[in-house]
Every structure is written in structure tokens, then in C-alpha cells.
């Protein structure tokens, strides 16, 4: 079963649940191993969710639509999380009305399930980055990780889905395998 709007909503709700209680901390610190701050990383999540919603609504065949999200520099972490929730809602709405035959560009023709998988992945992975920066112990839900792996990393090795997803994206170690320093996911459908 492909990922859908409910899965995006669940991932965003998990992000808010995990990070909301820590919105008074210093979000200017790096988000895990990223060069971005925790705040910038959360704004990036909102940006990607909105971009995916725009792609599904506009259905361009060969490029990303020429628009961008700007989160005001004075927005607090709580407000940035509200923007993430709003953009997650927009992606969820776009997914809910997109038929299975809809295609939009993400490095090739991508169906709604691909956009849902990318949205879930962005939320889970960057929530993990932010929790590392804030010193919060958390791992993404295994069932959502397994679904993301099936869609975006079909060649992923077997193992604990959260650990494998973190390894696939250069965020973790996996026994018997070198740490990844570069990676791509496959959201577009095979030609």
C-alpha cells in the first residue's frame, strides 16, 4: 500500500509531539550532523512539504514550480513548527484529492505515493536531526520508516527500519556496511 495523506499527517503530528515540548531551547544549534541550525532545518521541512503540495496541485512535467517559502527570521521555534503543520496540511490536502494516475515532476514523473513518501521521509529524517541537536532521544516510527524504505530505497538492506533509513541517508551506522557519504532516493516511477 503506498504512503498517503494520512501518513504525512501522522509524521507531522509525531514531529510536533516530539519537538513541541522543546521549543524554548536554543534552536540556533546545529541539527545533528547538518550544517543547518535546528530552526533552519524545521523551516526546510516546511519548504519541502509546500513544494511537494505545489507539484501535485500544479502537475508540472519537467521542473519544480518557481515559487518558494519564506519563514520570517523572527519566527520562534513554536511558530516554525506551526508553519510545518500548515505545510503538512497542504501536502495532505493535495494528496487526498490526487488520483493515483496523477504525475508531477520530481526528477522524473512521480505519483502521489512518491510525494507522500518524500514528505514522510523529510519529516522523519529532519526531526531526527533536530532531536540530535537538542539532545532529545528519539527514533522515527519503524512502520513509517519501512514504508519509506520500500518506496524510496528499494535496494535497502534488511534490518531495523529506523536504523536502515538513517543509514541509507548517511545518518547512522549499519553493521557490516560502510557509512554512506552520499545517497539519493528514487521517487520518480521507472520509465
The pLDDT-based confidence of 18 (bands split at 50, 70, 90) is very high
Q: What is the pLDDT of residue 46?
A: 98
> What pLDDT, on the 0 to 100 scale, is given for residue 190?
81
DSSP string, 45-88: HHHHHHHHHHHHHH--SSS--S------TT--HHHHHHHHHHHH
Q: How many residues make up the chain in this entry? A: 191
pTM: 0.97
- CA distances to 1, 154, 170 from 158, rounded to whole Å, are 19, 11, 16
CA distance 125 to 178: 19
Kindly report, residue by residue over 122-156, the tens digit of the pLDDT: 999 999 999 999 999 999 999 999 999 999 999 99
Q: For residue 156, what pLDDT is reported?
A: 96
User: What pLDDT is attached to residue 128?
Assistant: 98
Amino acid at each position: 500500500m503506498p504512503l498517503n495523506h494520512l501518513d504525512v499527517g501522522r509524521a507531522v503530528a509525531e514531529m510536533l509531539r516530539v519537538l513541541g515540548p522543546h521549543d524554548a531551547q536554543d534552536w540556533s544549534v546545529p541539527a545533528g550532523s547538518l550544517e543547518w541550525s535546528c530552526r533552519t532545518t524545521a523551516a526546510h521541512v516546511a519548504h519541502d512539504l509546500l513544494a511537494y503540495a505545489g507539484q501535485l496541485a500544479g502537475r508540472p512535467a519537467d521542473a519544480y514550480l518557481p515559487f518558494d517559502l519564506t519563514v520570517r527570521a523572527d519566527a520562534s521555534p513554536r511558530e516554525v513548527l506551526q508553519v510545518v503543520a500548515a505545510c503538512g496540511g497542504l501536502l495532505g490536502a493535495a494528496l487526498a484529492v490526487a488520483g493515483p494516475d496523477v504525475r508531477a515532476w520530481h526528477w522524473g514523473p512521480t505519483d502521489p505515493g512518491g510525494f507522500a513518501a518524500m514528505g514522510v521521509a523529510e519529516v522523519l529524517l529532519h526531526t531526527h536531526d533536530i532531536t540530535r541537536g537538542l539532545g532529545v532521544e528519539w527514533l522515527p516510527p519503524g512502520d513509517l520508516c519501512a514504508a519509506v524504505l520500500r518506496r524510496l530505497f528499494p535496494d535497502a538492506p534488511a534490518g531495523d527500519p529506523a536504523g536502515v533509513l538513517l543509514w541509507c541517508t548517511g545518518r547512522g551506522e549499519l553493521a557490516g556496511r560502510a557509512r554512506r557519504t552520499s545517497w539519493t532516493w528514487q521517487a520518480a516511477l521507472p520509465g
